[in-house]
Amino acid sequence: MERERQKTLIEAILFLNEDPVRLEKLADILELPREETREIVAELQHDLAAASRGIRIFEVAGGYQLGTPPELAGDLERAIGEEGGGSISNAALETLAIIAYKQPVTRAEIESIRGVKCEHVLENLLKRRLIRISGRKEGPGRPLMYSTTPDFLKYFGLKELKELPPLEE
């Protein structure tokens, strides 16, 4: 398959998917080694930006996904009547930060760091699928443990958890 056709195919696959598509998956479909596939995606990424196209390729939650250029945000919000999508409350953000760094973590551990009860915050985060119940801690009461989800990475535009900066000392 020639290069241009490979790029077109990747663009089409990303267009069809609303979830991030993993590099391995694309390599598998193109029947190419990963490194080469990564180069082709990078080229396509560059092409789209250079041609000022309305779609761009973003690396989120361990894969590639199509999205709109950030500089269009204002115009798009007006066009589709969506306001900056309700932000998360400070309480929820603090809780998420603790879960992201200490996962899997129990409610008691989170509450001990924040100094406040977190039951409702956790419920809301579960509903928004930013966190999930990832197991139970061995010990008295076997409390539930919480971890972040792929949606968490998508929401914050993170490729992977490793992208979080190390906690300050």
Partner 1 sequence: MSYTVRLPVFEGPFDLLFHLVKKAEVDIWEISIAEITGQYLAYLQSMKELNLDIASEFLVMAATLLRLKSKLLLPRQPRPAEDEEEIFDINSPEELFNRLEEYRRFKEAARFLREKELEQQKIFLRSTGGRKLMLMGRQQTFYTFWEGPYVLGEIMRRFAETAAAAAITPVIGGIEDFPVAEKMAFIYDLLERSGKVLPLKAFWNEKGGLWELIAVFIAVLELARQRKIALYQDRPFGQILLSINSTREKEQKHGA
Binding site for partner 1 (CB under 8 A): 13-19, 21, 25, 28-29, 31, 55-56, 58, 60, 65-71, 73, 76, 84-85, 87-88, 90-91, 93-94, 96-98, 100-101, 111, 113-117, 129, 132-135, 149, 154-158, 164-165, 167-168
Nearer to partner 1, 97 or 124 (CB): 97
CA distance 47 to 11: 11
Minimum distance between the CB of residue 103 and partner 1, rounded to whole angstroms?
12
* CA nearest neighbour of 52 among 36, 68, 66, 38: 68
Nearer to partner 1, 3 or 89 (CB): 89
Tokens of 68: 């709109």
Nearer to partner 1, 7 or 65 (CB): 65
Nearer to partner 1, 25 or 137 (CB): 25
* CA nearest neighbour of 100 among 138, 151, 139: 151
CA distance 74 to 85: 12
Quickly list DSSP for 41-75.
Answer: HHHHHHHHHHTT-S-EEEEETTEEEEE--GGGHHH
Element spanning 125, H or E: helix 119-127
Minimum distance between the CB of residue 127 and partner 1, rounded to whole angstroms?
12
Minimum distance between the CB of residue 128 and partner 1, rounded to whole angstroms?
12
Nearer to partner 1, 35 or 71 (CB): 71
